Structure formats: C-alpha cells, structure tokens
C-alpha cells in the first residue's frame, strides 16, 4: 500500500519514477487539496524552493509559485539567467553553493536532456524536473493524467490521439511512458515525417500499449474514434543548427491547424488537451467548442503541483 511517507524527500526526474499506484495516490491527494484548499494553507510553512529556469516558462513556473505560496512556503525570486553562470560558473558549482543555504527543493528547467538527473546526483535536496531538453516533463504528465481521469473517470482503455512535434516534444514522451502503465490504452501518434516519435521509445512501450503512427492529414478522420486529442506545438527552438527547420515548418504549418469544422463528428465526450503554449496549431475559434479543455488542464497544474510539494516536502497533516 502506497502511503504519504513514500514520497518524502523524493526527486521527480522521470515519470517512470512513479508506479501506477503512486500516481493514483498523488491524484487522491490532489483531489483533497482541490476540494478544500484552505485546509492546507499552512501545511508547508517555512519551506523554500529555489527555481532554476534556464528555459522560458509561464505555466510551470507560475503554477509552482502559486502552489508553494498557497501552502505557506516560498519560491525564491531568483533568475538563473542573470546569475554567475554568465560569468562562467558551472551548474555543478552553482548547485553545490546553493545547497549550503539549505533550500527545501530545486525546480529545474534546462535545455539539456538528462540535466535533471545530473543535478539530482549532485545534491540531497529534492530536485523536480520542470522539463529537460526534449527528454521528459514529468510534472506536466502528472497534470495531464489527472485531467484525463477527471474528464473520463478512468485512463484504462482510452483512445488517445497525440499530435504535433513528437520528436522534440518532451511532454509527449512522458505522457506515452505513463500511459504504458495503464491497461489497453490505444495511442494514435500524428506528426510530420521529420518530427516522428522516437523509434526506440515506441519499441520500449509496444508490449504494454497499442501505438499506431499516422500522418497529420489523417487527424480529422481518426479523432472520430478517440476520447482525447493531445495537441502540441512544433518546438522550433529545438531544431538542430544547420537543419533547415524554417522551410520544413512553413510546409506543415498550414496543414497542422485544428479548426472547429474538424470536430463535427467526434464523440460527445471528446476533449482537446494541450500542454500550452499554443502557437498556430489550434485555431482560437476552437476555444469556444465544448471539446476544448486546455485552459482547465493548465489550471490543474497548480493543484497537482500542490499535491507533489505537499507530499515531497512533508506537509503537515490536514
Ligand atoms: C511545455 C514544455 O515546456 O515542454 N510547456 C509547459 O510546460 N506547459 C510544452 C511546450 O513548450 O511546448
């Protein structure tokens, strides 16, 4: 049986760090907090988080700030992009110094795959991966799964379409890994040819879930059979140097644009999710459709992160 103390002092590096039972426990804790937030307002009094955001962020950064603040703790006002890293100090020395100030957790976002594990190996302070390069974004997946469960009442057996940049989109990598913990999910992947989901990751999961790959032109037809469409943006900033990404981007951008007309024949319960930011892949007119759920999904990020911090930092009993 999973219990509260199983989470104490843990890192969140990969979604694979959590069993299905642990994820369910986290969702249960999220529900308790979401239903009665004021009961938890002082549960992390005095706890301090140090943000290490090397990459831009709106939702992850602010929802962690809101989460710790609502629980009574603090998120330091520290911008790593104006730190002594710019004088040539290494990430290692930066971490080794900050840990001497005895923070309660680090939240790290970095362009390098594996950076969160690298930092976690340097320090005993819990490290939360807020996105490491194209690798993983586990706290996004926790909020995505929580949202799917909230909408559908279950995760087992769902038909889920995942579209966009599946090569560089770290949220899609963590999501597919997590779904492989559930039973009989059917995953439909939609991407341009040059941004396909990594082959090795498909091989890794193919025994536990059904995965099929499609071109973007098949999206409208296949979502008629799906419960959820998880859209993502094209991660242009991750295209390698020397690669003519702009040309390729221009080629697909017109065809990769979800409009309300494409939603005519979907199931009544069908929902569209997106980790956001949205760029051009979802027409703003879709926001009015009862199928759109991406802003509610973003809202859940604060509740799930409150639950993560409450459990990892040893929140006082309700
Ligand atoms: C995502 C990320 O950073 O990977 N954003 C987020 O945290 N909600 C998705 C993205 O940037 O496209």
Ligand 1 pocket test target in 275, 297, 299 with most atoms within 8 Å of CB: 275
Evaluate: CB of 275 within 6 angstroms of ligand 1. Answer: yes
Reply yes or no on whether 60 is catalytic.
Answer: yes
CATH topology of domain 4-137+301-312: Rossmann fold (3.40.50)
Tell how far the Cα of 38 is from the centroid of ligand 1, in angstroms. 29
Is residue 137 among the annotated active site residues?
A: yes
Cβ atoms 170, 57 nearer than 8 A: no
Query: Is 109 among the catalytic positions?
Result: yes
Residue-level pLDDT at 204: 93
Identify the band that residue 53 occupies on the pLDDT scale cut at 50, 70 and 90: very high
pLDDT of residue 244: 76
Q: Clarify whether 305 is annotated catalytic.
A: no
Q: What is the percent of the chain where pLDDT is above 90?
A: 92
Q: Judge if the beta carbon of residue 159 lies within 6 A of ligand 1.
A: no
Pocket test for ligand 1, best of 130, 231, 256, 276 (most atoms within 8 A of CB): 276
Which CATH architecture describes the domain 139-298? Answer: 3-Layer(aba) Sandwich (3.40)
- Tell me the per-residue pLDDT of 176-234, one tens digit each, with 9 for 90 and over: 999 999 999 999 999 999 999 999 999 999 888 999 999 999 999 999 999 999 999 99
Which protein residue's CA is at the shortest distance from atom 3 of ligand 1? 131
- In the residue annotation, 236 being an active-site residue is answered as no
| Averaged pLDDT for residues 28-45 | 98
Q: Which atom of ligand 1 is nearest to the CA of 235?
A: 12
Q: Which of 304, 302, 316, 244 is nearest to 67 (CA)?
A: 302
For the entire predicted model, the pTM comes to: 0.97
Residue 249: pLDDT above 90?
A: no
> Is 131 close to ligand 1, i.e. is its CB under 6 Å away?
yes
Among residues 30, 47, 59, 170, the one annotated as catalytic is 59
Q: Which residue's CA lies nearest to atom 11 of ligand 1?
A: 277
The residue assigned the tokens 């991750």 is 238
Q: 304: Cβ below 6 Å to ligand 1? A: no
From the candidates 137, 149, 188, 274, which is the catalytic residue?
A: 137
Which pLDDT does position 246 carry in this prediction? 80
- 4-137+301-312 matches 139-298 in fold: yes
* Residue boundaries of the structural domains of the chain: 4-137+301-312, 139-298
Give the distance (Å) from ligand 1 centre to CA of residue 57. 8
Per-residue model confidence (pLDDT) at position 70: 98
From the centroid of its chain, how far is CA 309?
15
Q: Is 138 in the pocket of ligand 1 (CB under 6 A)?
A: no
């Amino acid at each position: 049986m999973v219990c509260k103390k199983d989470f104490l002092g843990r890192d969140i590096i990969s979604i694979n760090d959590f069993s299905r039972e642990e994820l369910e426990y986290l969702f249960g804790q999220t529900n308790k907090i979401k239903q009665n937030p004021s009961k938890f307002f002082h549960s992390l009094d005095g706890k301090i988080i140090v943000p290490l955001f090397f990459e831009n962020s709106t939702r992850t950064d602010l929802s962690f700030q809101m989460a710790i603040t609502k629980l009574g703790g603090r998120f330091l006002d520290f911008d790593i992009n104006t730190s002594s890293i710019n004088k040539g100090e290494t990430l290692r020395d930066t971490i080794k110094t900050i840990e001497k100030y005895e923070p309660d957790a680090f939240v790290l976002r970095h362009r390098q795959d594996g950076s969160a594990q690298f930092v976690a190996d340097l320090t005993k302070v819990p490290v939360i991966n807020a996105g490491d390069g194209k690798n993983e974004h586990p706290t996004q997946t926790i909020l995505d799964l929580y949202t799917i469960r909230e909408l559908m009442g279950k995760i087992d057996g769902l038909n889920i379409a995942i579209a966009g940049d599946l090569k560089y989109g770290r949220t899609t990598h963590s999501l597919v890994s997590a779904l492989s913990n559930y039973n009989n999910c059917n995953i439909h992947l939609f991407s341009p040819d040059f941004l396909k989901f990594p082959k090795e990751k498909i091989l890794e999961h193919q025994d536990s879930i059904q995965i099929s790959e499609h071109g973007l032109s098949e999206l409208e037809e296949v979502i008629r059979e799906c419960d959820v469409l998880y859209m993502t943006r094209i991660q242009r900033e991750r295209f390698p140097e020397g690669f003519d990404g702009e040309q390729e981007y221009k080629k697909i951008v017109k065809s990769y644009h979800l409009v309300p007309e494409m939603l005519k024949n979907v199931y009544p319960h069908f929902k569209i999710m997106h980790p956001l930011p949205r760029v051009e892949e979802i027409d703003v007119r879709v926001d009015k459709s009862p199928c759109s759920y991406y802003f509610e999904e973003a809202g859940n990020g604060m509740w799930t992160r409150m639950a993560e911090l409450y459990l990892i930092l040893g929140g006082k009993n309700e």
